[in-house]
Amino acid sequence: MQIKICGLKRPEDVAYVNAAMPEYAGFVFAGTKRRITPEYARQLKGQMNPDIQTVGVFVNEEISTIVQLVKEDTINIVQLHGDEDLAYIDRLQDALGAHKVPVIRAIRVQNQEQIKEAEKLPVDYLLLDAFHADEYGGSGKVFDHNLIPPLTKPYLLAGGIDCNNVIEILQILEEKNNLPVAVDVSSSVETDGVKDAVKIDELVHLVHSIYNR
């Protein structure tokens, strides 16, 4: 079971993930609350343990911006969290060319059919998150996991996951033979809006100690 800590904004955040060693760390290039600039992301990437893969989170971004961040190795994985459709994804894949990296398509879950349709997209992973009418993600809300159909495409699970519920959630999905490949957290490992070293370490080690033995 892998872990993604999303929304890193400070050198301290990078130090926290370097200490805890989740598999992925996310830079957000959209919204306002956790958004950072490409230039600042480059600086943070330079301070990060190279064994941690960096994920760029985008909402309806210009494809050229994504390609540049991939080419310069600021991000290792692309996460699309907006209204990007099949045509957009095809254009992105073409533009990446020889620099192709894994692409994640985030879905703000409302029903099973929505997830089944998303599974047909030419992406490597889905990310299933809670739906919120006014936000593209990061609401910190849990959604009904009974809405997750059997999937052939690997998926990441987000939405209100924390140390108090992560093992129970994963156990329920494991009983259904429908485990995600990773859990994705952001606000649940923060205190007063900034990343908390203790919360990050606790969640990473809790999940790894049970699922990665």
When pLDDT is averaged across residues 79-102 and rounded to a whole number, the result is 96
DSSP bridge pairs for 108: 129
pLDDT at 64: 97
For 151-173, the pLDDT digits (tens) are 999 999 999 999 999 999 999 99
- pTM greater than the 0.75 cutoff: yes
Q: Give 213 or 145, the one with higher predicted confidence.
A: 145
Out of 9-18, 47-56, 107-116, 204-213, pick the least confident. 204-213
Total domains, the chain: 1
pLDDT at 140: 63
pLDDT at 33: 84
Statement: residue 35 has pLDDT above 90: yes
Contacts of 26 (CB under 8 A, 6+ apart): 4, 5, 6, 7, 8, 54, 55, 56, 57, 79, 184, 186
Statement: residue 133 has pLDDT above 80: no
pLDDT at 142: 83
Active site residues: 6, 129
> Six-digit token pair at 9?
């904004």
pLDDT at 134: 61
When pLDDT is averaged across residues 171-187 and rounded to a whole number, the result is 95
> Six-digit token pair at 39?
């230039």
When pLDDT is averaged across residues 19-35 and rounded to a whole number, the result is 94
Please report, for the domain that includes residue 185, its CATH number: 3.20.20.70
Statement: residue 101 has pLDDT above 80: yes
Strand pairing report for 2-6 and 182-185: parallel
> Six-digit token pair at 178?
């429908």
**Host domain of residue 154:** 2-211
Give the helix ranges, DSSP H, for 21-58.
38-46
For 39-75, the pLDDT digits (tens) are 999 999 999 999 999 999 999 999 999 999 999 999 9
Judge whether 117 and 109 are in contact, CB under 8 Å.
Answer: no
Statement: residue 126 has pLDDT above 70: yes
